[in-house]
Amino acid sequence: MLLSVILIGLITSLILIYLLGINNERYWKKRGVKFHSKNKVTGVFWEFFTKQGAMFEKFGDLYKQYKGEPAVGIGSITTPALFILDPQNVQHVLQSDFNSFHHRGIEANEGDQLADNILFMNGPRWKLMRQSMTPLFTTAKLKNMYYIMDKSAQDFVTYLKEHPKLWEGDCFETLMTFCNAAVCGAIFGIGTESIFDSPFLGVARSVTAPSLKRNLTFTLMSAAPRVAKFLGLTLFRDVEDFLIGAMTNVIQHRKKENVKKHDFADLCINIQKNGTMKDPTSGTEIEPTYGILTAQAMFFLGAGVEPVATVIFSAFMELGRNPDILEQLHREIDENFEKHNGNITYDVIDGMEYTDKVLSEAMRINPPIGFLSRKCVKDTVLPVGNIKVESGTNMFTPIYDIHHDPDVYPEPHVFNPERFAKGNKHSDKFYMPFGLGNRMCIGERYAKLQMAAGLVHVLRHFTVKTKELKTAIKFKSHFVNVRPISADVLLIPRNIK
């Protein structure tokens, strides 16, 4: 009896999956769009869960296979989904047609307090929160924060000199410690000394670390949000109590201290002082509780640690196998340290053009975020291919693949900072390490300062050599991040006074 019930259940499920696949394929064929029929129900997500590598690499396989198509339909359980290939269509989705594509495409559950941050918010709540956080990133505030990033970078060099074991250790992990100290100091005003083993680093690691559960949760929140809701899936529950407690302490302590530091904690105090956050146009209201303010802090922490470390690491990795470029960069760094007596201010770093070119090229070759997602919220048409897109469709747009497309960037695997020389045509309209359009990264200028501070201080005192790069770079099995793992970098002290 039990066996027949199981058998009937199994056969019914198989029939349902088969019909779902047929339905997904028909949906796109009817609209004249090629469909990736390898896994008609789970599309490239299946490849991600069953094979090595990062999600962006699975989209990369589609990018190569369907090159020349404006977009390709993919299985995404019950939600129609498109992977966009044509760069004009990418721009349309991310930038020009914001009215139809302002939704992030991931629906976090209500119980997931820390997921209630700008990245995952949508509609009028997103607009209100984004407006409220924007004042943190003005030039005046960034100049102020830069002193702290620079101090963290100097302290980091001292720390490196005192711990020679780190010169041959896991360079990426070591850079994460600098990024964490810089973010904690500059954005949250935590600690007067840079702390390289703080518990916040554990949080930063944990919120970006890939795991089967987190990858599955992301996938369901995007492809089958109702299933994710029904299962009550959450992304950040494990760090919720610690982080809300810690941020509440930081804000309350600052209130008592009554000292202005012009950072995130100050912004939170101002927001709370003004009471309920309101958008008069839409009538949207948000209560500035410690929970929701911590949710923003958590995302800033996650964004300021691993992605920034990825850029510095990628730069080191490329410099460590391109001695001429490294020499030119060392020259610029040394000249500036000598000219300004080691006092690398905001204005000095702002004028270091070669450093900027190296970092820009590092972000082209390894953009820390490999692809973007949006959900269509209003029926529309994509310009190339005249593709009709219905409200509810999930959109995936490549970053890594466009940055590596030889038609956009000739010889894409060659590390060449001169692509970013003034007056050089480097396809900047398709350069998007920080995304594009109204939802692009709010922390772009902050991140660039932090990576520059780390890079110039370390390279003033160390040179770099890349080890173990025998084949093409391999990447960690991340859902959104691009994290190279098959190479490491040696730090070698330089002889400077």
Contact 278, 287 (CB under 8 A): no
CB of 444 to ligand HEM, least distance (A): 7
Distances in whole angstroms, Cα of residue 302 to Cα of each of 175, 309, 361: 14, 11, 23
Which range touches ligand HEM (CB under 6 A), out of 138-146, 383-391, 442-450, 462-470? Answer: 442-450
Which range touches ligand HEM (CB under 6 A), out of 162-170, 193-201, 296-304, 344-352? Answer: 296-304
Contact 394, 100 (CB under 8 A): no
**Closer by beta carbon to ligand HEM, 311 or else 402:** 311
CB of 435 to ligand HEM, least distance (A): 2
Under 8 Å CB-to-CB from 61, ≥6 apart: which residues? 44, 47
**Closer by beta carbon to ligand HEM, 138 or else 386:** 138
- What is the footprint of ligand HEM within residues 119-138 (CB under 6 A)? 119, 130
Is 485 one of the binding residues for ligand HEM (CB under 6 A)? Answer: no
Rounded Cα distance between 357 and 329, Å, is 10
The site string for ligand HEM over 75-114 (x = CB under 6 A, - otherwise) reads -------------------x--------------------
Is 446 one of the binding residues for ligand HEM (CB under 6 A)? Answer: yes
**Closer by beta carbon to ligand HEM, 28 or else 57:** 57
Contact 76, 45 (CB under 8 A): yes
Contact 84, 430 (CB under 8 A): no
Is 434 one of the binding residues for ligand HEM (CB under 6 A)? Answer: yes
- What is the footprint of ligand HEM within residues 171-200 (CB under 6 A)? 187
| End-to-end CA separation in angstroms for the chain | 84
**Closer by beta carbon to ligand HEM, 41 or else 133:** 133
Is 436 one of the binding residues for ligand HEM (CB under 6 A)? Answer: yes
Rounded Cα distance between 335 and 355, Å, is 12
Among 166, 216, 384, 440, interactor with ligand HEM by CB under 6 A? 440
Contact 142, 452 (CB under 8 A): no
Which residue intervals of 368-415 are DSSP H helices?
Answer: 400-403
How buried is 84 (Cβ within 10 angstroms: 0-12 exposed, 13-18 middle, 19+ buried)? buried
Is 320 one of the binding residues for ligand HEM (CB under 6 A)? Answer: no
Contact 486, 341 (CB under 8 A): no
Rounded Cα distance between 326 and 459, Å, is 9
Among 181, 372, 382, 453, interactor with ligand HEM by CB under 6 A? 372
- What is the footprint of ligand HEM within residues 385-424 (CB under 6 A)? none
Which range touches ligand HEM (CB under 6 A), out of 189-197, 213-221, 305-313, 344-352? Answer: 305-313
Rounded Cα distance between 176 and 459, Å, is 16
Distances in whole angstroms, Cα of residue 121 to Cα of each of 9, 243, 407, 443: 38, 19, 35, 16
E-assigned strand segments in 414-487: 462-467
CB of 333 to ligand HEM, least distance (A): 20
Residues that contact ligand HEM, how many (by CB under 6 A): 27
Nearest residue to 215 (alpha-carbon basis) of 365, 343, 42, 86: 42
**Closer by beta carbon to ligand HEM, 244 or else 452:** 452
**Closer by beta carbon to ligand HEM, 71 or else 482:** 482
Among 41, 303, 482, 491, interactor with ligand HEM by CB under 6 A? 303
Is 377 one of the binding residues for ligand HEM (CB under 6 A)? Answer: no
- Contacting residues toward ligand HEM, per CB under 6 A: 94, 118-119, 130, 187, 299-300, 303-304, 307-308, 311, 368-369, 372, 433-437, 439-443, 446-447
